[in-house]
Amino acid sequence: MKRILVIALSGIGDTLIATPLIRQLREQFPAARIEALVLWPGAASLLDTNPNLDAVHQHPFHTAPLLDSLQFVARLRRERFDLSINTHTQGRREYRIIAGLIGARERLSHEYENQSWIDRRLVTRSLPQDYSVHGAINNQRLLGLLGETSTATPPAYELFLSGEERAWAGRAAGTMGLNHANALGVHVGSGGTKNLALRRWPLQGYVELGQRLLAAAPRLRLVFFGGPDELDAHSALRLQLDPERTCFPTTPSVRHAAALLGHVGGFLSVDTLFMHLAAAVRVPRQWVIETPTVNPPILPLRPDWTLIPNPAVAGRNLDFYRYDGRPIAGTRESLQRIMASVTVDSVEQALLREPPAGPMFPITPPTV
């Protein structure tokens, strides 16, 4: 293989899930030119400094005029790739159409529920996805189609932050008075495509939880991460939480946000990009509120994290969401009820339960 293209056009978190595959490709094809194609600018940012890649291509297929997208694909086609790999979880057929138009000699993909004879013309080899294992494992298995053996090393996210980004995060953490012993990071948002915003835990839940934690743990600081999609939520939180002990940092980029995550001792979110970033920088403690979209392929790629169960999901995640390009099954009202079924008590108990142990949540005994 002389030229390889890794196609990772779904969410930015899925781009992180693809990084173990990129490393394995570099190990098994050390002389090859390896490139990546992504949809989102944030995804391109996460890969920009990856030493296992020779180039990163980014194009907004979802918003660009069709002619612009066809011209972009035509330029990639002229590079005559030997191999392209559509990484997990790219269930939409459009992703395989793009791979077919680029026209690498070998085109690998997974088989999803919407598989048909059309897909067999778009890709040259495929294998069924496995909902029971992580997306990184699904990606590794594709190499078996080439006769390559999977690495024995457990896959791990790879995020190569620069010295400038780490230095910025250190200064920001110092200004906010953060350290691993006193800072809990929180992301109240979720993805914005399809109807994925409906998997957010109710904002009032974060308000009540924050008030309880700040009252119980005098040294605790809450750090609310997010971007433009969370501005309104953050404005509401500012009005209801102690301004001296809550922080809403503005980060220059998703990479700077990841670097700042390295300065908190715990992180709470639903399954979203920030969940993967927290796992990538190995935040010491991590909690994930279960949503209808939580399935093994997209869980944090680390062994030491805690799932806060959603009683309304009750193990029926695949009844709600599969990687076939469709939105979460259910009405707006029903999905909001599902997320509201996770109580503040259950989240608080998960955060305060032993383990984890340590100084982050030194609880003040109630006065008698």
pLDDT tens figures, 194-210? 899 999 999 999 999 99
Between CA 366 and CA 368 the distance in angstroms is 6
Model confidence over 26-39: pLDDT tens digits? Answer: 999 999 999 999 99
Give the residue carrying structure tokens 């029971």: 132
The residue among 116, 146, 176 that closes a domain is: 146
The residue among 82, 117, 146 that closes a domain is: 146
Same domain, 103 and 213: no
Same domain, 122 and 175: no
The residue among 94, 115, 146 that closes a domain is: 146
Residue 335, CB-side half-sphere exposure with 13 Å CA sphere: 19
For residue 151, being part of any structural domain is answered with no
β-strand partners of 111: 128
Between CA 282 and CA 186 the distance in angstroms is 15
Between CA 195 and CA 138 the distance in angstroms is 25
CA 50 to chain centre: 17
Q: Determine the pLDDT at residue 115.
A: 86
Give 80-133 as a DSSP string. --SEEEE-TT--SHHHHHHHHHHT-SEEEEEE-TT--HHHHHH-SEEEE--TTS
For residue 191, being part of any structural domain is answered with yes
Q: Among positive and negative, which fits the CA dihedral 159, 257, 295, 287?
A: positive
For residue 365, being part of any structural domain is answered with no
Fill in the amino acid letter for 97.
Answer: I
Asked whether residue 223 carries a pLDDT value surpassing 50, the answer given is yes
Domain count, the chain: 2
**Contact criterion met (CB below 8 Å) for 317 and 299:** no
Between CA 61 and CA 47 the distance in angstroms is 18
Model confidence over 91-127: pLDDT tens digits? Answer: 999 999 999 999 999 999 999 998 888 998 999 999 9
Q: Determine the pLDDT at residue 356.
A: 44
For residue 364, being part of any structural domain is answered with no
For residue 341, being part of any structural domain is answered with yes
Q: Give the tokens for residue 189.
A: 């948002």
For the chain, give the mean pLDDT. 92
For residue 153, being part of any structural domain is answered with no
- B/e letters for 180-207, b = 16+ CB within 10 Å, e = fewer, are bebbbbbbbbbbeeebbebbbbebebbb
Same domain, 102 and 200: no
For residue 84, being part of any structural domain is answered with yes
Same domain, 170 and 115: no
Same domain, 172 and 297: yes
Mean pLDDT of 122-150: 91
Model confidence over 36-86: pLDDT tens digits? Answer: 999 999 999 999 999 999 999 999 999 999 999 999 999 999 999 999 999
Same domain, 168 and 123: no
Between CA 164 and CA 315 the distance in angstroms is 43
Fill in the amino acid letter for 316.
Answer: R
Same domain, 186 and 136: no
Same domain, 205 and 267: yes
Same domain, 99 and 169: no
Q: For residue 118, what is the domain's CATH number?
A: 3.40.50.2000
Same domain, 167 and 141: no
Between CA 267 and CA 63 the distance in angstroms is 32
For residue 363, being part of any structural domain is answered with no
Same domain, 94 and 194: no
Long-range pairs of 168-176 with CB within 8 A, sequence gap ≥ 24: 168/252, 168/256, 168/259, 169/256, 169/259, 169/260, 169/262, 169/263, 170/263, 172/249, 172/251, 172/260, 172/263, 173/260, 173/263, 176/221, 176/223, 176/247, 176/249
Same domain, 105 and 225: no
Residue 19 belongs to domain spanning: 3-146
